[in-house]
Each structure stands twice: as structure tokens, then as C-alpha cells.
Structure 1
Amino acid sequence: MSSPSSKSSPPSAAPASALQQQMVALAGALAPAEGYNLTVLPDVRFLRSNRPLSRAPVLYDPGIVIVLQGRKRGFLGDEVYLYDAQHYLAVSVPVPFSMETDASAAEPLLAIYFRLDFNVAAELMLRLEEHGAPAHEAPRGLMSTPMDARLAQSVLRFLEVMRSPVEAAVLGPGLVREIYFRVLTGEQGGAMRAALTRQGQFGKVARAIRKIHACFDRPLDIGTLAREAGMSAPSFHAHFKAVTATSPMQYLKSTRLHQARLLMVRNSVTAALACTQVGYESPSQFSREFKRMFGRGPAEEAERMRKAFAMPDPLPHAEYVASH
């Protein structure tokens, strides 16, 4: 499903290169606070984490995660996705998975999150097709890919520009576009382009996923989602699981619970109100399923999130629910 994916323990980190040391120093200054640090670019955030995480449930918006220091591992079904200073993570459709991180106060995890601007990605993909670079690879929702030298240089220039609010506002969007280009033409760029153009059965599943994120607070069943995808219910169930490693109803439940957690943390709503706002009819069922997913009850988990991470407002014009 992605490369690399291994169940063995990761090797010890190699000594940081001079370029990597430069990027870490810049990222550390751009992410002074633990949690997400906002930038003048609405789709870009810098992350600092001073503590490890163990198998935390996450749901990313489509985008790119570039880790500059520390290590993250994502677990989806039998696949393990490593993203660290040598590998980045690309997400073409939101897929719930669990994540663990290596981080400490002495050596915090530092990363950049680029929420995908579909207009910029579509324009680049069109230009690539015009220049004879069609996407023949099988589409993928989640990809862990080695960081090559050209992408690393683009990221370094981006970090340097982001030190100045004026340069960030004027030059930053062009460098974000350059980073998109490097990812879309990288080792697994063809698979990402195929996913973003929503080809074949993958595209049908992607339509159903958008429906879930747009209507998670309403009654949805397998028949409704299968019709949205233009498939029979059995075919839809099989293809959905092939893309997301979970069933449509489990995906819907995960989306609702992630959104409930965000409502409690960002809007300070009660668990009872969050329960109704995400489409649950039974508060007791909501509490049971929430604790099963996050390992804590709703109120306890919301309090932990407030203390552990700065939680900025949602990204503007977000098409999907994200919780990471």
C-alpha cells in the first residue's frame, strides 16, 4: 500500500546532515509553542510536540506532513507508515489511522503540515499532463515516501522565507506550489495524482467519503453511501475497505467521534451537546464508543487535549473533518 512499510523496529537515526540541522533550527524558531503554530499562510502550520504519543487515533485532511526532527509512525491495517526526517507523509483522502511519535522536551518533534489546496494541485496536475506526465499508478489514500534532495532544498527555502512575515506572504505561496510539484512528481507522485483525479473505483469511494464528511451529523446508512458512490452495497463495502482499511460504518463512527472531540476542545461544548451535534441519539453509546477509540471519557480527553496542545481554529474552507 505504501513504502516503506515494516513491522520491525526502526533503525537508529543517522547523524543529521548540515542541511537537516539548518531546517531543524529554522523549524524550532517557527514553532516556539507546543502544538500547532499558525502562519500567515492559512493552509500551513508548524508543529512542535515535546512528548511521545502511543497509538493515538488521527484523521488528517488531505495534505503533506514533513517531519524535520523526531519520528512518526502511522498504523493502518497491516501497513506501517514511517514519516521522519528522511520520509514525508502524503494524504490524498482522509483515512483514520493510529499514530505514535518519538519526541521529548530535549528533542521535540518538529514538523510542517500543508493542508492540500485542491485548486493549486489541480493546476499543477493539468500542467504535468500537458507535458506528458500522466498518472498511470494505482491511486493511494496514504503514502510514506523518501525525501529526495530536491524536495529537501525546496523545504529549506520555504523555512527561510517563513521567518519574515512579508516574505512569507509574498514568496511563501510560490514555494508551497514548488513543494506540491516535488511531491506530485516524486517517487509516489503518480499514485497521489491518480487519487486526486479520483480515477476508477477509488474515485467512487472518494465521493462517498466526501458525503460522510459533509453529512456526518445526519442519518447515513450503507445504502445511501453506496448510491452516492454509484455502486451496489456489497461492491461498495469491499472497495471502501480496500481504500480505507475499515468499513463505511466504522469510518462514519470515527469521523463523528473525531468531530465531537474537536467540538469539545475548540468550542468548549459539553459531551452531551457534542453527542447530539455529531449525529448520536444515545449519550451512553456515544460515551462508550468515544472511550473505546480515545482511551478516555469525553470530558477527560477534552481536558487532556486542552492542556497538551494549542488547538487553533479549523482551517478555512475545510472540506473534511480532521483531528490530529
Structure 2
Amino acid sequence: MTEHLQPHIDIALRHARFGVTITPIPRLEIGVGQTTSGTSPCLYRSMICFILQGSKDVAIRDNLLRYDSAQYLISALDLPLSGQIHNADDGRPYVAVSLVLDPALLAEVASTMSPVRDVDAPGFGIAFNPMTPPLRDTLLRLLALLDAPDDIPVLAPMAERELLYRLLQGPQGRLLRHIAQPEGALGRIRRAVEWIRDHQHKRLRIDALCEASGMSRASLHRHFVALTGLSPIQYQKQLRLQEARQLLLTGDRTASDVAFAVGYESASQFSREYLRQFGASPVRDMRQLRQAISRPAMA
């Protein structure tokens, strides 16, 4: 599979730096990195991810799943998960391309295809599927536009529509069609997730969340847990802890200051939940992270 993706890798590395690069193609990003030690929290947006080189572990419902260039990932909604990237077997860096999904465009493309009746709600909000030659070829045409930036405004939308068409034809077409349906269960949970993210620093009000999603308490809880693996309160907690970790890493504020900044009313509760989530207290976790970050620079 890797030899088929070498042209994709060459283009990606010509236009990306270490870390995440936002490309001139709308919603298309390139990630380049080296093997990390242990899993780290990350927010999976509603997107498609194609690994071109290396592999990634994703912790889902207490299971650690690994995928590589032989598969692609679809995330139906924003999910706070944990992951770990790995270099290729020969030591070359991890390279991946992600495209954030546009529900309106998905609906437009789906409307041009033969109608399919999807009665049941989708299962979990993340799915892995085998990479196919048509998808690989379409992705290459999209990436190649980075070498011809003047062509992007005209040709990128065409290539993206073809990519979505191929995906809608694939085994997760049902999941993608549900993303395009704002009044379906997935669309309503996407609205609930958006509401939580917009109010993550405030006390979670289930009644307001039900109103935002247009669901009853029982229906909201059932579908939210099925799609995200978390209750709404657990989801908000994950967002707060991930934000807190970033604030601690990039700033010089104390753990107590960060706890209140992300919405905690008790610094001691924050410390307990941080320890439970990351396996170390905030101070010790920051010391370990900064040591891990500094090692490559000293090598």
C-alpha cells in the first residue's frame, strides 16, 4: 500500500511542516509527526482521516485500535479521545491528511445519488474502512492541487465532491448520510455536542441541552452515549481536562488558576479528575511532558 501512496506523501511533505499544516484547500489539513510516548488526548472533529505513512492508535471505549495507510477513518462528530502516532517501520515520520466534513455538501452530493432509506440510527461515531484504489486516486488529485494553487478555487470543490461520492458509495455511506441529515439522531447529537462546546466552562444544564438538540432526556442520553461513548457530563469533563492540559503546557498559570478558567468550582476536584484522566497530577504531568518535548531538541 505504501508504494501506491508515495506520490501523496511527496506532495504532503512539500507543503507541510512538522505538526499540523492548514492548507490552501478549504478544510484540508496535513499532519506530520514522530512517534509519541504513550497516548495523548486529542479532539477528533467531524472529518475523514487518511494516513499516508506510519500508523496511529486510538483509544475507543477502553479498546486501543490501530489503523494505518490500509484504512481510512471517518469521525461523525467532535469526539474527545486519546491517541498515539507511530513512525513507519523504516523510521520515516507519520504523515496524515484530514478533511473536515461539510454536512451541507454531503447532503448535496447524496441528493444526486440513488435514494437509500436508512431507518436505523448509526452506531458509534467513529468507523474504520479499507482504503480503495478509487479513493486513493481521487485523494491524489485533490492533493496535487497544492502544486497548482491557482487551480484550487475551481478544481478543489470538484475533487472534494468526487471524494465524498466515493465515500458515500463505501461501507460507511449510511454514517455519512446521517451526518447530512440535521433532523436525524446523529444531527441532533451533533447540535448537543456543539452546545456543550459553546458552554463548556459553565455548569451543564440538561434541560437546555435537550432544548438545543430537540430531544427528550431519555432519547438524548441514549443516543449521546451510543455515538460518543460518554454521557453529556463526561463529555464536558473531557473537553475541560483537555483544555486545561493545553493551558498548563503553553502558559505559566497554576493548576488552581487553570481549574477555575476551564469551569471547575473546586481546585481539589480538578486535581483528582486530572490525575484519574492523565495518570499524574497536573504538576507532575507537566514536568513529564516538557521533558518528553525537550528530548528531540537535545538529541
Give the TM-score taking structure 2 as reference length: 0.82
1:276-295 matches, within 5 Å, as 276-295=260-279
Distance 1:137 1:185 in 2: 18
SS of equivalent residue, structure 2 residue 67: strand
Question: Is contact 1:70–1:101 with CA below 8 Å preserved after alignment?
Answer: yes
Question: Is contact 2:35–2:84 with CA below 8 Å preserved after alignment?
Answer: no
1:72-151 matches, within 5 Å, as 72-77=56-61, 81-103=65-87, 106-128=91-113, 131-136=114-119, 138-140=121-123, 141-151=125-135
List alignment gaps of at least 5 residues for structure 1.
Answer: 1-14, 310-324
Shift of 1:257: 1.9
Superposed CA RMSD in Å reads 3.1
User: Aligned residues, how many?
Assistant: 290
Distance 2:28 2:292 in 1: 23
**Counterpart residue number, 1:16:** 2
Residues 1:205 and 1:223: Cα distance change in structure 2 (over 3 Å): same
**Counterpart residue number, 1:164:** 148
Distance 1:132 1:77 in 2: 33
SS of equivalent residue, structure 2 residue 204: coil
SS of equivalent residue, structure 2 residue 96: strand
Match for 1:188: what amino acid? Q
Shift of 1:126: 2.9
Shift of 1:260: 3.2
Q: Select between 221-230 and 114-123 the one with higher mean Cα deviation.
A: 221-230
**Counterpart residue number, 2:297:** none
Distance 2:175 2:166 in 1: 14
Question: Is contact 2:44–2:80 with CA below 8 Å preserved after alignment?
Answer: yes
Distance 1:198 1:227 in 2: 15
Give the TM-score taking structure 1 as reference length: 0.76
**Counterpart residue number, 1:312:** none
1:27-46 matches, within 5 Å, as 27-31=12-16, 33-46=17-30
Shift of 1:195: 3.6
Match for 1:145: what amino acid? N
Question: Is contact 1:54–1:101 with CA below 8 Å preserved after alignment?
Answer: no
Distance 2:278 2:56 in 1: 18
Distance 1:44 1:262 in 2: 23
Shift of 1:194: 1.6
Distance 1:38 1:303 in 2: 29
Residues 1:146 and 1:122: Cα distance change in structure 2 (over 3 Å): same
Question: Is contact 1:71–1:101 with CA below 8 Å preserved after alignment?
Answer: yes
Partner of residue 184 from structure 1, selected from 168, 179, 183:
168
List alignment gaps of at least 5 residues for structure 2.
Answer: 295-299
SS of equivalent residue, structure 1 residue 97: strand
Q: Select between 102-111 and 207-216 the one with higher mean Cα deviation.
A: 102-111
Question: Is contact 1:222–1:249 with CA below 8 Å preserved after alignment?
Answer: no
Shift of 1:262: 4.3
Between the two structures, name the one with larger relative contact order (CA 8 Å, sep ≥ 6): 1
Partner of residue 258 from structure 1, selected from 233, 237, 242:
242
